[in-house]
Amino acid sequence: MQNLAFLTGIRIYLRSLIDEDSEGEYLKWFNDEEVCHGNSHHIFPHTKRKILEYISYSQKSHDELILAIVLKSNDKHIGNIAFQNINLIYRSADLTIILGDKSIWGQGYGSEASKLLVRHGFCSLNFHRISCATFDSNIAMKKLALSLGMKEEGRRCEAVYKNGRYLDIIEYGILKYDYEKILK
């Protein structure tokens, strides 16, 4: 597959989703309970048709910037990262990420992808604020948010129901001037 890099890091690059992604492991990620333990997926089954519709949507949307996370070493699609709820008036967006390939978990790929996209958000898209939210039980995402310089801003108590219990959602955010302090 041709390298269609949009943002390039040390070990990964971010690119648009393409129809060929539906042929790989992508569909399995959203039907895997372990992959989806910390997000709102795995409520309804995903199908190839649903994935293709999402890929098509991602290619047209200006309200969301949805990118594949791809290993530079072998062009393997390992996850997705996105800015959702982009608001051009408020100059803000929500960061979301899923790492579907369990073999790369804990190796810093999510951090590398997130740093690339956050930098793009502040430096190219002129965002003033980037936020994310995660289930209280999602330790990896909470660590990721803090490593990006985000601060815990609030808690929505028992806001979601997943796997037979209600879970709190923890909200994180960072402002552009706080991000710029980190870069110095």
Which regions in the chain score pLDDT beneath 70? 1-3, 30-45
Which pLDDT score is estimated for 43?
Answer: 58
Any idea which fold 7-183 has? Aminopeptidase (3.40.630)
Give domain limits for the chain.
Answer: 7-183
User: Which DSSP string do the residues of the chain spell out, in sequence order?
Assistant: -----SEE-SSEEEEE--GGGGGTTHHHHHT-TTTTTTSS-SSS---HHHHHHHHHHHHH-SS-EEEEEEETTT--EEEEEEEEEEETTTTEEEEEEEE--GGGTTSSHHHHHHHHHHHHHHHTS--SEEEEEEETT-HHHHHHHHHTT-EEEEEEEEEEEETTEEEEEEEEEEEHHHHHHHH-
Integer-rounded Cα radius of gyration of the chain = 16
Which pLDDT score is estimated for 125?
Answer: 96
Q: How far apart are CA 54 and CA 39, in angstroms?
A: 17
Which pLDDT score is estimated for 80?
Answer: 92
Q: Which amino acid, residue 18?
A: I
To the question of pTM greater than 0.75 for the whole model, the response is: yes
Which pLDDT score is estimated for 2?
Answer: 59
